[in-house]
Chain A
Amino acid sequence: MADLVSAPPDLRDAAGYATSLAAALTDPSSPLPGFRGPEASTTELRVEHGRALLAELHIQGWNRYGWPVEAGGLGGGARHRAAFYDELSRAGIPAPEQNVILETIGPPILRFGPDLAARFLPACLRGEESWAQGFSEPEAGSDLAALRCRASREGPDGDFVVNGQKTWTTLGHLATRIALLCRTGSTESRHRGLSMLLVDLDSPGVTVRPIRMSTGTNETAEVFFTDVRVRADRVIGEVGQGWAIAMYLLQYERGMYAWMRQAVLFGLLGQLAEQVPAGARENGATRRALGEARLATAALRARSGVTVRRLADGETVGPDASADKLLLSRAEQTVLDVARRVLGPMFVLDPGAEAERWRSTWFYTRAASIYGGSAEIQRGILADRVLMLPGENDR
């Protein structure tokens, strides 16, 4: 629970925190304004930038708000963290790349594995370590419950031995630990026989290979596990509870992540507006296109803000978070489609770093309707569980 007794009163509520943080991020006597964009060109450099930024923010405590004291934070909740991402974007400072994963895995570890959170989360806040999310496998994409990576219990201590493969693991080759969704029950047990382990990626038997994505950068990785020993105390929650934890996690992957992205997208819209070629600024089609992009992003901001607020208040968002994910896909892809059209020849021909950043981001936004459950999967969830339509196999 929030423990901000030692925090100055004006930082206890997220609005006061946002205002103070905004001032700190632009204070010329502090090193923080030096972290302003443009965003670095490779994943490795972005994570490095994130490390340095987190270390600096940590000295003044700014990135510790929103995380509990027991896990290295200063108390407060998801509202503080939401304000953190919004203010970074306003100040033109790229958010730490590794926080995308921290925001996804952090809340379920706090909730289901508080001891693990107390041990490892403080180092994430200091920027010293980062995590990865190991769900997808070559044969288990949309059908996540088909996953096969196995953890068997061996020996008197109940330690696990892990064998199998994960893929598309965001930042996998740069991470310290991975939250591994793996099978501890029989193959037929589907979602009932799953558990989640927090595994060190430098363990003997782990091999990580980066995957270069269409963005041109190594966004994701394949992770191979061969007889990897994992201590029994690395289970998040209980053995067999993996699916429930994954479902809890997905609310954050669809809600808080969407919020983080709206902050980025509003930043991109601002940059785009500055870069519209002089001859196109008075053009009605340009204005309409920019307006459409802004509308989609405004809806994402409003909706993900509501979801973050619900998560902060301890509500279960459940299947409704699928609507956020659909609004996210639309906003991401609309903004970058508009950027491509409005920037015209620059997008196509310019060899410079700025143009490459737009191109790379265009490709990045194509993934928004794939990761975290594809758009089709989200529609299915809404149809089944919110609109209560007949199931696909109903007759």
Chain B
Amino acid sequence: MTMDTATTVLLRETLHEALSGNGRVDVPAMLAELGWDDVLAEDEAGATRLLFEEQGRALAASPALDAVVLRAIGLAAGPTRVLYPVDSWSSPDMLDGLLLGSVEADTSVLTPSGAGTSATLLCVRFPGRSPAEPVDALDPDAHWCRVRVAVSDAQPLLTGEAASRAWARGLAAGRRALASELIGSGRAVLDLAAEQVRDRRQFGRTIGSFQSVRHRLADAYAGLVGAAALVESAWADGSPSTAACAKAFAARSHAEVLANAMQVSGAIGLTWEHALHRHARRGFGLDALLGSADELVTDAGADLLAGFDLPRFPALDVTPVGTREEEA
């Protein structure tokens, strides 16, 4: 099932309003109130895209990503949160990664470790022996924490191929959601820049009438629509490789819209007051979660060298011929 346009618009507005509380929204409570599980049951792809786009646009912070990853992994019961590994921190006997926001006492947290046949999905009771440490240097509004747990304090839930397949599903779903969040933030950046160049006058005319300014924003727009289409196909074909491409392309498009918006906004866009830097900070953080664009691009190239098989394009199948008016 997919939502119709009217439902989509309504849901987008509702989410937009609920999330625009300046980063201090209790997103899980808000979603529970909206009856989010029913919304997901109706159109998981559409609803998830909307939620994360609006979260990105509003610069809201929440552990909503955890629910997406856990849902895709599909354990019947167990962990309710996720600890995102940071490879450069972790070691074979120490789990070391990021939590999105704080956790209450006695929460069970899922985290992956290892790869391939030595992969495991572990469950950690939290808070464990080591307290969470805020990670707020770049983006304090994201409320991330660093957590270290000894592998010996964690309990394995799945091992080997089963763990690796389950985590691949979680990764793909998480990357699709993060791509949407980057797109939402990117659209907010484009809107801010467009508004600025429509208002600001120099040389007796609005700067938005200068071709170089117009063209920068048009290019940025094309990148964002490409990213949005890729997220849609990643949901439709379900393939981890399309999900990885979607996240990488979204991060690239975010960086592009940001660079162009910062340039055309002039000094005002570089002030602490202006939201641009907050979108930049959030964008860098989202890029780092679950594989940066640079890492994913390298993987995409390695895939190609290994003889990658292009998934058939699912968006062509949605409406069988004869059920709708065709152009022909």
Bound Cα distance A308, B318 (Å): 12
Indicate whether A28 reaches chain B with its CB closer than 8 angstroms.
no
Report yes or no: B320 in contact with A13, Cβ–Cβ below 8 A: yes
Contact of A327 among B222, B321, B322 (CB under 8 A): B222
Indicate whether A110 reaches chain B with its CB closer than 8 angstroms.
yes
Bound Cα distance A5, B194 (Å): 51
Report yes or no: A314 in contact with B327, Cβ–Cβ below 8 A: yes
Bound Cα distance A66, B326 (Å): 9
Count A/B pairs, Cβ under 8 Å.
Answer: 219
> B228-247, CB under 8 A of A: which get 1 and which 0?
01101100000000100100
> A271-311, CB under 8 A of B: which get 1 and which 0?
01100100001001011111110110011111101101101
Indicate whether B248 reaches chain A with its CB closer than 8 angstroms.
yes
Indicate whether B273 reaches chain A with its CB closer than 8 angstroms.
no
Bound Cα distance A393, B206 (Å): 10
Indicate whether A354 reaches chain B with its CB closer than 8 angstroms.
no
Indicate whether B6 reaches chain A with its CB closer than 8 angstroms.
no
Which residues of chain B are near A389, meaning CB under 8 Å?
194, 197-198, 208-209, 213-214, 217
Indicate whether B299 reaches chain A with its CB closer than 8 angstroms.
yes
Indicate whether A12 reaches chain B with its CB closer than 8 angstroms.
yes
Report yes or no: A323 in contact with B226, Cβ–Cβ below 8 A: yes
Which residues of chain A are near B222, meaning CB under 8 Å?
322-323, 326-327, 382
Indicate whether B305 reaches chain A with its CB closer than 8 angstroms.
yes
Which residues of chain A are near B217, meaning CB under 8 Å?
383, 387, 389
Which residues of chain A are near B211, meaning CB under 8 Å?
376, 380, 392
> A90-117, CB under 8 A of B: which get 1 and which 0?
1000000000000000010011000000
Bound Cα distance A325, B267 (Å): 32
Indicate whether A261 reaches chain B with its CB closer than 8 angstroms.
no
> B245-263, CB under 8 A of A: which get 1 and which 0?
1001100100000000000
Which of B242, B310, B315, B321 is packed against the most chain A CB atoms within 10 Å? B321
Report yes or no: A323 in contact with B225, Cβ–Cβ below 8 A: yes
Which residues of chain B are near A357, meaning CB under 8 Å?
none
> A362-394, CB under 8 A of B: which get 1 and which 0?
000000000000001011101100111111111
Among A69-77, A177-185, A203-211, the one that faces the other chain is A69-77
Report yes or no: B326 in contact with A309, Cβ–Cβ below 8 A: no
Report yes or no: A298 in contact with B245, Cβ–Cβ below 8 A: yes
In the complex, besides A272-B304, A299-B227, 15 extra interface pairs with C-beta distance below 8 angstroms are A12-B322, A15-B312, A73-B328, A79-B316, A79-B319, A80-B321, A266-B310, A286-B301, A291-B302, A299-B249, A314-B326, A327-B225, A380-B215, A383-B215, A390-B205
